[in-house]
Amino acid sequence: MNALLRVEQLRKAFGGLKVTDEVSFSIRPQEIAAIIGPNGAGKTTLFNQITGQLPPDGGRIRFEEVDLVGRSPQDIVRLGIGRSFQIASIFPDESVRDNLLAACLSRLNQTRRLWRPYTSHLQAGEEAMAILASLGLESQANRPAYELAHGDQKLLDIGIALALRPKLLLMDEPTAGMSPEERQRTRTLIKKLWQEYRLTLVFIEHDMDMVFGIAERIFVLNHGRLIAEGAPESIRANRDVITAYLGEETG
Amino acid sequence: MDLPRRYKFGLLWTAGLLVFALVPLLMTSRYQMNLAGHILVWGLFAVSFNMLWGVTGMLSFGQALYYGIGAYSVGLLVTRVGAAWFFPALGIGLATAALISLLVGLLVIRMTGVYFTMLTLAFAQLAYQVTLKWRDLTGGDDGIQGIIPPGLLADKTFYYYVVLAVVFFSIWVLKRMAYSPFGLVLRCIQQNPERVRFIGRSVRMNQLRIYVISSLFAAAAGALMAGMDSSIHPDMLYWTTSGEVILMSVLGGINRFFGPFIGAIVLILLEDVIGAKTEFWPIVIGSVILVIVILFPRGVVGEAQHLWSRFRGDSSQRSPA
């Protein structure tokens, strides 16, 4: 089995609370997968361990046969794992273009340069414009990022992650806080980006239209445990999943 | 007149250089030239400090440490070893500042916010106490007098032009840096350090780098000052010196590259004008500063640009939310 990401027996507890409980799964190259589960199921915590923000208590995380546990977030990003956040993580005072330029310059290893103006780097400039076009944010290029509407800030966050040309992209609730129309637009856009950039994409989401609409595989977490994984049809019919969402044992 | 930005900028740059270059020719006393020289050196010190604070968001309250290292390197070597050591002393001062700022930097960048500020203050105060108590080496609170640079540099007017050249060159270098990819990363660190890590860059490494760079230019300013005033004193390492560049930056505006330089002009001229009129000048200056800060929260430069863009009815200009 040729997995891009392999998580084995991952464990993490905060005090007595097991937030990640013996979780094992793997992600295949170029698939699009969703992680779902009730609030507090440990979805974001799982991302935080993969991306190096939070050290696991035990278990292994391997990315292209490289062990990720113990590495810093910036190392992991440079190995090829990009991330967007539940609350848009952008550089608010910079223009939309410069937000993307920062990411492009970082990918091109140009950020140590301290002489030439950052706006004069042609390749970074072209890459940033290409991302802007993919996101449909060209008309906003010169606006400071804090002025963008909430939904556009979320897109910019995704754009920053895309600019790093990640082999694996992790998105934490890409449609959180969006209006129904924005959700619809974002759903289509993410599917388009996945195809256009040939991404391997894993997203956490509460929007079930998005989850069942575009994911090829779905992982279900509850109380830190992976209680189900499989194609959308099998998840929809899974008794444990239905209980987790509707049953009385959820908190 | 809608000139492209870079020409407009070149014009301002040339105008500033001209004004300072004309001071020795138009002055009525040597005192005015000395005042202009002070503005230049403090301007460089303040601009270098603001690369830490206004650009990267690291409020150091201890840049006097490096200013003092530059000043005492020149002062000690020129008076104890010989005037010919002026330039080597400058080099040694910069090298010492680089080494110390690297070591101190490794410790202080582990802290953020007010803890960073307090720790930088502690290191600078430590250096101040050492300078004060180590009489045999530093002359204690007498400081060091009679620092006469060699050859042509001993001429005050010639020295002034050297200061002018070094300061303008240094500020130009810092400005290039502020708008380089490295400068962009620094601004990003101020706004969202976590995101900087998640574009694959180390926050601490870049903070350390700008801490060392900023300290180098502070040391250069201190070295220039030693040759200009021909005397130095431990107060150059005291916390009020660090406070002075913070004040200059606030007055001029920390979000504009040239803000701290304009702030240096304002503060030094204020001290000069008011200091000549009344012995209660600290109270008067304090009140004036208070008024300026309350009336112009963006600083003098930030406020001027804001007014200018409103005057032109230019709604595309950014205004803070």
Q: In this structure, what DSSP letter does residue A67 have?
A: E
Q: How confident is the model at residue B314 (pLDDT cuts 50, 70, 90)?
A: low
Check CB contact under 8 Å for B180 and A114.
Answer: yes
Residue B199: give the domain boundaries. Answer: 13-237
- B106 is a domain residue: yes
- How high is the pLDDT of residue B244? 94
Q: How far is B2 from chain A (nearest CA, A)?
A: 19
pLDDT at B4: 66
- Closest residue, chain A, to B176 (C-alpha): A115
- Subunit contact A111:B202, Cβ cutoff 8 A: no
User: Is residue B279 one of the residues assigned to a domain?
Assistant: no
Residue B116 contacts residue B190 (beta carbons within 8 Å): no
Which is higher by pLDDT, B199 or B154? Answer: B199
Whether the pLDDT of residue B213 is over 90: the answer is yes
What pLDDT, on a 0 to 100 scale, did the predictor assign at position B319?
41
Total count of domains within chain B: 1
Report the pLDDT value the prediction gives residue B81, as an integer from 0 to 100: 92
pLDDT given for residue B290 in this prediction? 86
Q: What proportion of chain B, given as a percentage, has pLDDT over 90?
A: 73
Closest B-chain CA to A166: B199
Full 3-state SS string of chain B: CCCCHHHHHHHHHHHHHHHHHHHHHHCCCHHHHHHHHHHHHHHHHHHHHHHHHHHCCCCCCCCHHHHHHHHHHHHHHHHHCCHHHHHHHHHHHHHHHHHHHHHHHHHHCCCCHHHHHHHHHHHHHHHHHHHHHCHHHHCHHHCECCCCCCHHHHCHHHHHHHHHHHHHHHHHHHHHHHCCHHHHHHHHHHHCHHHHHCCCCCHHHHHHHHHHHHHHHHHHHHHHHHHHHCCECHHHHCHHHHHHHHHHHHHHCCCCCCHHHHHHHHHHHHHHHHHHHCCCHHHHHHHHHHHHHHHCCCHHHHHHHHHHHHHCCCCCCCCCC
Min CA distance, B68 vs chain A (Å)?
26
Residue A144 to chain B, least CA–CA distance (Å) = 8
Q: What is the pLDDT of residues B12-40, one digit of tens each?
A: 888 999 999 998 888 888 899 999 999 99
Would residue B231 count as lying in a domain?
yes
pLDDT in tens, B49-106: 999 999 999 999 999 999 999 999 999 999 999 889 999 999 999 999 999 999 999 9
Q: What is the pLDDT of residue A240?
A: 85
User: Out of A6-10, B189-193, B309-313, which region has the weakest mean confidence (pLDDT)?
Assistant: B309-313
- Residue B313 domain-assigned? no
Query: What does the pLDDT read at residue B166?
Result: 97
Choose the most confident range, by mean pLDDT, from A34-38, B217-221, B274-278: B217-221
Interface test with A, best of B188, B198, B315 (most A CBs within 10 A): B198
Q: How far is B14 from B33, CA to CA, in rounded Å? A: 19
Low-confidence ranges of chain A (pLDDT < 70): 1, 246-251
Rounded to the nearest angstrom, the minimum Cα separation between B317 and chain A is 10
pLDDT for residue B1 is more than 50: no
Would you say residue B269 lies in a domain? no
Cβ–Cβ gap A72/B188 under 8 Å: no
Closest CA to B64 of B238, B248, B181: B238
**Is B105 within a domain?**
yes
Q: Is residue B282 part of a domain?
A: no
Q: Average of pLDDT values for B300-309?
A: 85
Whole-angstrom Cα distance, residue B202 to residue B185? 10
Cβ contacts from A onto B, under 8 A: 94
Select the residue of A51, A90, A102 nearest B185 (Cβ to Cβ).
Answer: A102
Q: B180: which chain A residues are within 8 Å (Cβ-Cβ)?
A: 113-118
Q: Which ipTM did the prediction report?
A: 0.93
pLDDT at B304: 87
- Hey, are the CB atoms on B321 and A146 less than 8 Å from each other? yes
Q: Which residues in chain B have their CB less than 8 angstroms from residue A94's CB?
A: 184, 187-188, 191
Position B155 in a domain: yes
- Joined together, the tokens standing for residue B95 give 């090298």
Q: Which residues of A touch B176 (CB under 8 A)?
A: 114-115, 117
Q: What pLDDT is recorded for position A250?
A: 43
